[in-house]
Chains A and B, each alone.
Chain A
Amino acid sequence: MSLTMSLYLPIAGNSVNCLAIFGLGGVVGLLSGIFGVGGGFLMTPLLIMMGIPPTVAAASDSNQIVGASTSGTLAHFRHGNVDIKMGLLLLIGGIVGGTVGVQIIAILRQMGNADFLISITYVLMLGFVGGYMFLESLQAMRKSSRPEVADASPKRESLYAKMIRIMPLQVDFHRSGIRLSLLMPFCLGILVGVLAAIMGVGGGFIMVPVMVYLLRMPMHVVVGTSLFQILFTCMNVTVMQAAQNHTVDFILALLLLLGSAIGAQFGTKIGKKLGGEHLKILLASLVLIVMFKMLYDLLAMPDVLLAYAGGH
Chain B
Amino acid sequence: MQTIFSPHAKRLLLAAVLLVLPALAAASTTEGLTVTPANIVMGAQYNGLDLKVNGTVPAGSEVIVRLTGAPSTLHLREKGKVFGLVWMNVGKVTLNNVPKICLITASSPLELLGKAAAPFRLEALVKGIGIEKDGGDPSVDISHQLLLLKTKEKLYGEAAQGVTLGPNEGGVRSFTAVIKVPSAISPGEYQVEAIALHNETVTGHSSATIKAELIGFPKWLSELAFQHSLLYGVMATVVAIFSGLVIGLVFQSKGAH
Chain A interface size band reads 35 or more
Asked if residues A305 and B47 are in contact (CB atoms below 8 Å), the reply is: no
CA distance A301 to B80 in the complex (A): 9
B226:A70 contact, CB within 8 angstroms: no
A-contact 0/1 string along B166-184, CB 8 Å cutoff: 0000000000000000011
B-binding segment of A152-160, A198-206, A254-262: A254-262
Does B191 interact with chain A (Cβ within 8 Å)?
no
**Chain B residues positioned under 8 Å from A253 (CB to CB):** 236, 240
The residue that B46 contacts in the complex, of A8, A115, A262, with Cβ under 8 A, is A8
Instruction: Using A78-B252, A304-B149, A307-B89 as known contacts, say yes or no to A66 and B230 having CB atoms under 8 A apart.
Output: no
Interface string of A97-119 (1 = CB under 8 A from B): 00000000000000011011001
Q: Is the CB of A66 within 8 A of B240?
A: yes
Partner of B233, one of A6, A241, A307: A241
Structural contact, B240 and A251, CB atoms closer than 8 A = no
Chain B: which residue is nearest A17 at the CB level? B47
Q: How far is the CB of B88 from chain A (nearest CB, A)?
A: 4
With both beta carbons as reference points, the residue of chain A lying nearest to B80 in the complex is identified as A305
Q: Can you sample 23 A-B contacts with CB below 8 Å?
A: A7-B45, A8-B43, A10-B214, A10-B218, A10-B222, A14-B183, A64-B240, A70-B241, A71-B244, A75-B252, A116-B82, A235-B237, A244-B229, A248-B225, A250-B221, A250-B236, A254-B240, A257-B243, A299-B85, A304-B152, A306-B77, A306-B78, A309-B76
Decide: A308 and B233 in contact? CB cutoff 8 A.
no
Which residues of chain B have C-beta atoms less than 8 A from A115's C-beta?
Answer: 77, 88-89
Residues of A within 8 A of B184 (CB): 13-15, 51
Q: Which residue of B lies closest to A66 (CB)?
A: B240
Interface residue A298 (Cβ < 8 Å from any Cβ of B):
yes
For residue B87, which residues in chain A have a CB less than 8 angstroms away from its CB?
Answer: 297-302
Residues of A within 8 A of B86 (CB): 116, 119, 298-299
A4 touches B47 (CB 8 A): yes
* A303 lies within 8 A of chain B by Cβ: yes
- The 8 A-B pairs with the shortest beta carbon distances in the complex, nearest first, are A242-B233, A70-B244, A67-B240, A15-B183, A74-B248, A67-B244, A10-B218, A6-B47
* A113:B88 contact, CB within 8 angstroms: yes
Q: Within 8 Å of chain B (Cβ to Cβ): is A229? A: no
Range for the number of chain B residues in contact with chain A: 35 or more
Of the residues A240, A241, A246, contact of B226 by C-beta under 8 Å: A246
Given contacts A253-B236, A265-B247, 15 further A-B contacts (CB under 8 A): A14-B183, A51-B184, A74-B248, A116-B89, A119-B86, A238-B233, A246-B225, A251-B221, A299-B85, A302-B79, A304-B145, A307-B89, A307-B149, A308-B74, A309-B76
Contact with A along B142-162 (1 / 0, CB 8 A): 100110110010000000000
A270 within 8 A of B: no
Kindly provide the distance from the CB of B191 to the nearest chain A CB, expressed in whole angstroms.
Answer: 20
| Given A7-B44, A299-B86, A306-B142; A258-B243 close (CB under 8 Å) | yes
Contact A70 B240 (CB under 8 A): yes
Interface membership of B1, Cβ < 8 A: no
B236 in complex: contacting residue of A75, A238, A299, A309, CB < 8 Å: A238
Cβ of A168 to closest chain B Cβ, rounded Å: 36
The interface residues of chain A lying within 8 Å CB-to-CB of B245 are: 70-71, 74
CB within 8 A of A250: which of B78, B89, B185, B232? B232
Question: Which residues on A sit within 8 Å (CB–CB) of B218?
Answer: 8-10
A239 part of interface (Cβ distance < 8 Å): yes
Cβ-defined contact, A10 with B219, below 8 A: yes
Known: A7-B44, A71-B248. A308 touches B77 (CB 8 A): yes
Q: In angstroms, how far is the closest chain B Cβ from the Cβ of A156?
A: 43
**Quick check: is B92 within 8 A (CB to CB) of the other chain?**
yes
Chain B residues contacting A15 (CB-CB under 8 Å) are 46-48, 183-184
- The residue on A at minimum CB distance from B254 is A265
Chain A residues with CB under 8 Å of B230's CB are 239, 242-243
In the bound complex, residues from chain B placing their C-beta under 8 Å from that of A13 are: 184-186
**Contact: B248 with A305, CB < 8 Å?**
no
> B222–A11 contact, CB under 8 A?
yes
Query: What residues of A have a CB within 8 angstroms of the CB of B145 in the complex?
Result: 304-306
Q: Is A222 an interface residue (CB 8 A)?
A: no
Please indicate the chain A residues that have their CB under 8 angstroms from the CB of B47 in the complex.
4, 6, 8, 15
Q: For residues 2 through 26 of chain A, which have their beta carbon under 8 Å from a beta carbon of chain B?
A: 4, 6-11, 13-15
Closest to B249 in A: A74
User: B186 to nearest A CB, angstroms?
Assistant: 6
Q: Known: A8-B47, A15-B47. Contact between A119 and B183, CB under 8 A?
A: no
A298 to B79, CA, bound (A): 10
Tell whether, in the assembled complex, residue B244 and residue A69 are in contact, meaning their CB atoms are under 8 Å apart: yes
Contact A63 B244 (CB under 8 A): no
Q: Mark B205-219, 1 if CB is under 8 A from A, else 0.
A: 000000000100011
